[in-house]
Amino acid sequence: MTRTTAPITALTRPARLAAGARVAVVAPSGPIPEERLEAGLDILRGWDLDPVVATHVLDRHAEFGYLAGTDADRAADFQAAWCDPDVAAVLCARGGYGAQRMIDLLDWDAIRAAGPKVFLGFSDITALHEAFATRVGLATLHGPMVAVADFLKSARAQEHLRATLFEPESVRTIASDEAVPLVPGKARGVTLGGSTSLLAAEVGTPHARTSARGGLLLIEDIGEEAYRLDRILTQLLRTGWLDGVTGVALGSWVDCGPYDGLRAVFADRLGGLGVPVVEHFGFGHAEGALTIPFGLCAELDADAGTLTLDEPALL
């Protein structure tokens, strides 16, 4: 069966941050260790930002301890933060699991009406990246979160995020020294992606794209063994979601098993797409993770290990 889907297009860019900007910290998914939250807030204050913590960020669900409070409270926190006219950015404290449980409780018409602002997160937050793309038409940032250990201990991750937020023209070319081509070549498209398991889990939901056609796909994951990643990528292939992807960048694969086995899966499942594929691109769950803008036109050079944005991530 031939599937015909219009290619994805570039999204609206929010404004860059300035000294004194108020930023809201939310927990849409898993619970937050208080000491890590405080350490992350100190970093934000060191950047001359004014962080405000949502009411339920430190909550833990009474029955499901893997959630940062109830779905309704997490959604209310997110809604209030986004719709506050004094807030210039909404930053996730961590991922984990839970964004999918609260996403349908959000008023997306109100979120869209509140206007564009910076949104940052990764991992389970992939579900929200997809929703912002489909429901709001907003470019977002896939990057290290406020209360995540890899961010707190990595000067590289902190500096790349800070530059993206305040001086985005300085990081229009994103490069990884460790990157190597799995399939050589150059490709152009609109950046999208995140956690492979979340992208697969989102297929068929009201907030997900029906296809990544025309997209430069940047994917990573954690705790998924080779056979699980095989299953996830096979699901994306069988649904046609990967039809028309122009290039692929592979980030970190922490706790996913020996990389030789993963590499064989990637070569088998992605090599047949006939597009450039680059490995070890330096984003995701690893220490020193780069911040990757989603929703922007860019060129991927698998041989050079670079992603060059047509425009800065933020206005």
Helix (H), strand (E), coil (C) string for 237-284: HHCCCCCCCCEEEEEEEECCCCHHHHHHHHHHHHHHHCCCEEECCCCC
Say if 248 falls within a structural domain: yes
Domain count, the chain: 2
Say yes or no: 265 and 177 in one domain: yes
186 and 201, same domain (yes or no) = yes
Residue 13 covered by a domain = no
- Is 285 among the residues known to form the active site? yes
Which of residues 122, 146, 168 is at a domain's end? 168
**Does residue 2 surpass a pLDDT of 60?**
no
- Residue of 56, 160, 207, 285 marked active site: 285
pTM of this prediction? Answer: 0.97
What average pLDDT does the segment 182-193 reach? 98
Joined tokens for residue 195: 């956690």
Q: Report pLDDT for 3.
A: 52
Query: Domain boundary at 168, 195, 229, which?
Result: 168
What CATH number is given to the structural domain containing 157? 3.40.50.10740
pLDDT in tens, 199-240: 999 999 999 999 999 999 999 999 999 999 999 999 999 999
210 found inside a domain: yes
Looking at the fold, whether 163 and 189 belong to one and the same domain comes out as no
Same domain? For 114 and 242 the reply is no
47 Ramachandran zone, left/alpha/beta (phi>0; psi -120 to 50):
alpha
φ/ψ of residue 2, rounded to 5: -90, 125
117-142 residue pLDDT tens: 999 999 999 999 999 999 999 999 99
2 in a domain, yes or no? no
Mean pLDDT confidence for 240-261: 97
Answer yes or no: do 52 and 92 share one domain: yes
What are 215's two structure tokens? 């997209």
Do residue 27 and residue 164 come from a single domain?
yes
Residue where the block lists tokens 């930023």: 23
Task: Determine the pLDDT at residue 221.
Answer: 98
Q: Are residues 207 and 72 in the same domain?
A: no
Q: Which of 29, 56, 123, 207 is catalytic?
A: 123
184 and 160 together in one domain: no
Q: What is the pLDDT of residues 52-105, one digit of tens each?
A: 999 999 999 999 999 999 999 999 999 999 999 999 999 999 999 999 999 999
Kindly state whether residue 293 falls inside one of the protein's structural domains: yes
Q: Domain of 82?
A: 22-168
Displacement of CA 105 from its chain's centroid (Å): 21
Do 31 and 154 reside in the same domain of the chain?
A: yes
Contacts 24+ apart (CB under 8 A), 235-238: 235/200, 235/203, 236/196, 236/199, 236/200, 236/203, 237/269
Among residues 202, 220, 224, 279, which one is catalytic?
220
- E-assigned strands of 111-195? 118-121, 140-142, 173-175, 180-183, 186-195
Query: Does residue 238 sit in the same domain as residue 145?
Result: no
The answer to whether residue 11 sits within a structural domain is no
Neighbouring-strand partners of residue 221: 253
CATH code at 236? 3.50.30.60
Q: Reply yes or no on whether 252 is catalytic.
A: no
Average pLDDT over residues 133-154: 96
Please give the residue that has the higher pLDDT: either 287 or 195.
195
Q: What's the mean pLDDT when you consider all of the chain?
A: 96
> Given 168, 188, 221, which residue is the final one in a domain?
168
DSSP annotation of 89:
E
Strands (E), the chain: 22-26, 50-53, 87-92, 118-121, 140-142, 173-175, 180-183, 186-195, 215-222, 247-254, 277-279, 292-294, 297-301, 306-309
Based on the domain organization, do 157 and 197 belong to the same domain? no
d(CA 70, CA 143): 25
In this predicted structure, the answer to whether residue 107 has a pLDDT above a threshold of 80 is yes
- Asked whether residue 151 falls in the same domain as residue 191, the answer is no
